[in-house]
């Protein structure tokens, strides 16, 4: 039987026994050969709670770096997916988010149908995930005992850094990177930069703005302060917005169309699919205007706003944007 993904994890259960969180330190995607045979020898397809002793042989033999999990005095969960189907449980949702943040899958390559239905809205606290109907009791208990208990967020998604810190990245504010984000080597996320789940900065990138769900940011591109890239969730659309290699989106700018390589949008200019754009060729000849959607995915474009008329113009830009190498040194 084929194996799409497999992992052994530490679940967090509410008092009612509902799984509200799951940590998978060593997920596997499409294992083959002896490893796949060992998985099917010990585990059945689907999801099951297991005692640490039952997982000990597999972890010690195949994932020794995950051995600290076996010190847990509570049951673990094993998830074995034969195929990439719609999400059917909280543990499965967390497994797929882990696959993305472990760089085992790129955004928009996993079936995430059902993810919102199977992720609980919980309080993410300094003591981990807490079910909302248990929060008031936990807060009162902490005050009575005189220890610090902070609610960091109330959401379906936790921050990535509490589960995974990918190699070769800098993250100034970890609360702005959700579990399920893909951060490639050399990526720097500044204090007000944000990357949603199922979004990627392939690296090296400088992110000072917002990278929305489904967006993939190509090698060497820079997202300026307070800039944003339109995702697919808010508007219910199906167009995936991608940014090519060596692009620059200026401060307070943004795009609702895909960009090819070496494109620039000047500071303060937001390009949407319906934006009317005048085209200026390399000889200064003017055509158009056209709607920006007709330029989607093209390379070597410079979008500016005329300082006197306010007209949005697009000019050819064949000069690649070079990022400051010192900013991407992660020694």
Which residues are catalytic, by number? Answer: 208
CA–CA separation, 233 and 113 (whole Å):
13
Q: Are strands 301-305 and 312-316 parallel, antiparallel or unpaired?
A: antiparallel
Q: Radius of gyration over alpha carbons of the chain, in Å? A: 23
Residue 240 CB coordination number (10 Å): 14
Give the length of the chain.
331
Which pair of tokens denotes residue 146? Answer: 């005189």
* HEC profile of 225-289: CCCEECCCCCCCCCCCCEECCCCEECCCCEECCCECCCCEECCCCEECCCCEEEEECCCCCEEEE
**Element of type H or E holding 35:** helix 33-42
Which residues have CB under 8 Å from 216's CB, separation 6+? 106, 107, 108, 199, 200, 202, 240, 242, 243
CA–CA separation, 318 and 314 (whole Å):
13
- Whole-angstrom CA distances from 244 to 92, 161, 254, 296 are 31, 26, 14, 11
Burial of 21 (0-12, 13-18, 19+ CB in 10 A): buried
């Amino acid at each position: 039987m084929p194996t799409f993904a497999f992992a052994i994890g530490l679940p967090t259960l509410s008092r009612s026994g509902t799984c509200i969180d799951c940590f998978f330190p060593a997920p596997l995607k499409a294992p083959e050969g002896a490893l796949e045979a060992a998985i099917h020898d010990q585990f059945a397809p689907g999801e099951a709670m297991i005692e640490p002793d039952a997982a000990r042989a597999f972890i010690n033999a195949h994932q020794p770096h995950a051995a600290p999990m076996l010190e847990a005095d509570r049951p673990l969960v094993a998830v074995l997916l034969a195929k990439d189907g719609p999400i059917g449980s909280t543990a499965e949702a967390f497994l797929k988010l882990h696959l993305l943040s472990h760089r085992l899958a790129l955004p928009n390559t996993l079936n995430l149908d059902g993810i919102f239905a199977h992720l609980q809205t919980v309080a993410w606290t300094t003591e981990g995930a807490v079910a909302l109907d248990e929060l008031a009791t936990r807060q009162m208990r902490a005050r009575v005992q005189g220890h610090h208990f902070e609610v960091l967020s109330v959401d379906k998604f936790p921050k990535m850094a509490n589960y995974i810190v990918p190699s070769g990245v800098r993250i100034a504010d970890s609360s702005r990177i959700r579990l399920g984000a893909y951060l490639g080597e050399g990526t720097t996320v500044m204090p007000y930069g944000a990357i949603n789940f199922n979004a990627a900065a392939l690296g090296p990138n400088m992110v000072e703005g917002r990278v929305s769900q489904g967006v993939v940011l190509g090698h060497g591109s820079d997202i300026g302060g307070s800039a944003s890239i339109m995702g697919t969730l808010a508007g219910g659309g199906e167009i995936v917005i991608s940014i090519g290699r060596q692009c620059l989106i200026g401060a307070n700018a943004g795009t609702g169309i895909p960009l090819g390589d070496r494109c620039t949008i000047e500071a303060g200019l937001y390009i949407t699919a319906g934006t009317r754009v005048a085209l200026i060729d390399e000889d200064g000849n003017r055509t158009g205007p056209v709607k920006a959607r007709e330029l989607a995915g093209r390379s070597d474009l410079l979008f500016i706003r005329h300082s006197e008329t306010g007209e949005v113009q697009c000019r050819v830009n064949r000069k690649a944007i070079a990022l400051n190498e010192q900013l991407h040194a992660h020694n």
